[in-house]
Amino acid sequence: MDFKGQHILSVSQFDRPAVEKIIAVADQMRPYAAREKLSQLLSGAILGNMFFEPSTRTRVSFGCAFNKLGGHVRETVGIENSALAKGESLKDTAMVISGYSDVIVMRHPLEGSVAEFAKTSRVPVINAGDGTNEHPSQALLDLYTMSKELERFGSTVDGVHIAMVGDLQYGRTVHSLSKLLNLFNNVKFSFISPSQLAMPADIIKQLKDNGQEVIETDHLESGLKDVDIVYQTRIQEERFPSKEQADAFRGAFRINRFSYSQFCKPSAVVMHPLPRDSREDANELDTDLDQHPNLAIFRQADNGVLVRMALFALIFGLENKLAETETECSWRSL
């Protein structure tokens, strides 16, 4: 796959070599992300960072990734603060913002909206989450994290056993990650959720058709048996028809020191796309695991910057120009 000038809208556009390329370029970004060196790779370029839904990690890490490559960031945050609130169409917004930007990152609450926007955009567009549909850069950083965490135990993503837990119906990160993992061999999926929040049937079918082993259960203890990765998710309250309907599922599958030590093997790595719900009645991932060495959630969030830097370098076709555009970081040693 040639990334140059391409939109990144769905993980379905990647094959395995493309994913491996992103991981390799993300590895190259470490010294620049850590500010050991400064990069001017995208000096003068402008990112239009458009978030029409709440975000902390994705918005800020995309912005930081662009800044760390020497580019500038311009943002729109919230539908209510944009001309969409005055009735402007996504098509018109795309025409306008793509005239101001060299690349656009967009999050929007409606499925398919980012792809629709990209049809009119004159510059590449990256999907930062479209409703319940997809979150491709999150899946890439999840995969990158899995690969690094498994390496510590001498394992690989091929042959991994992953449990995805919680709201698998509305959680777009688990949709994208499942499709991405389907590029790997002999992946075993344990989907642990209430039956009302099960993984969509079309994704289950794609996995099974590809020969992957799939278990669906609403039983946490048996579901976590022998897994290498526990991928916990939040109940996506904002996607339910009513708050009361979301409330019915809160705190149903808690990962905490007790459930981890009782049901998981000692090397199991715990991941979560974040945010985690810290309200007492929800609390799907307890803070009592925060000091556990296998809790990867903050390494996972950090990896978002590396992967997003890699995506930008690839979209601009500049991944081989990193060394020649680097400079010393004078302020870091002060």
Interface residue list for ligand CP (CB under 6 A) = 55-58, 138, 273-275
| Cβ nearer to ligand CP, comparing 234 with 254 | 234
| Cβ nearer to ligand CP, comparing 129 with 223 | 129
- Cβ at position 148, least distance to ligand CP in Å: 18
| Cβ nearer to ligand CP, comparing 3 with 51 | 51
- Which residue in this structure is represented by tokens 């307890």? 286
- Cβ at position 169, least distance to ligand CP in Å: 17
Sign of CA dihedral 261, 293, 311, 27: negative
| Cβ nearer to ligand CP, comparing 58 with 193 | 58
| Cβ nearer to ligand CP, comparing 66 with 263 | 66
CA atoms within 13 A on the CB side of 181: 38
| Cβ nearer to ligand CP, comparing 204 with 307 | 307
Closest CA to 253 of 190, 175, 298: 190
- Tokens standing for residue 78: 């919230």
- Cβ at position 61, least distance to ligand CP in Å: 8
Closest CA to 300 of 127, 146, 107, 160: 146
- Cβ at position 55, least distance to ligand CP in Å: 3
Chain position whose Cβ is nearest to ligand CP: 58
- Cβ at position 233, least distance to ligand CP in Å: 10
Report the largest interatomic distance among the alpha carbons of the chain, rounded to a whole angstrom.
Answer: 57
| Kind and range of the H or E run holding 38 | strand 37-39
Provide the CA 48 distance to its chain's centre, in angstroms: 19
| Cβ nearer to ligand CP, comparing 60 with 329 | 60
* Interatomic CA distance for residues 4 and 270, integer angstroms: 34
Q: Is 106 helix (H, G, I), strand (E, B) or coil?
A: strand
Whether the Cβ atoms of residue 63 and residue 57 lie closer than 8 Å to each other: no
- Cβ at position 97, least distance to ligand CP in Å: 20
Sign of CA dihedral 182, 186, 192, 196: positive
- Cβ at position 273, least distance to ligand CP in Å: 4
Backbone angles phi, psi at 75, to 5 degrees: -125, 150
- Cβ at position 271, least distance to ligand CP in Å: 11
- Cβ at position 179, least distance to ligand CP in Å: 17
- Please give the C-alpha separations between residue 151 and each of 146, 161, 269, in angstroms, as whole numbers: 8, 14, 11
CB under 8 Å to 286, separation ≥6 — which residues? Answer: 254, 255, 256, 257
DSSP string, 211-222: T-EEEEES-HHH
Amino acid identity of residue 263, one-letter, is F
| Cβ nearer to ligand CP, comparing 106 with 204 | 106
| Cβ nearer to ligand CP, comparing 5 with 275 | 275
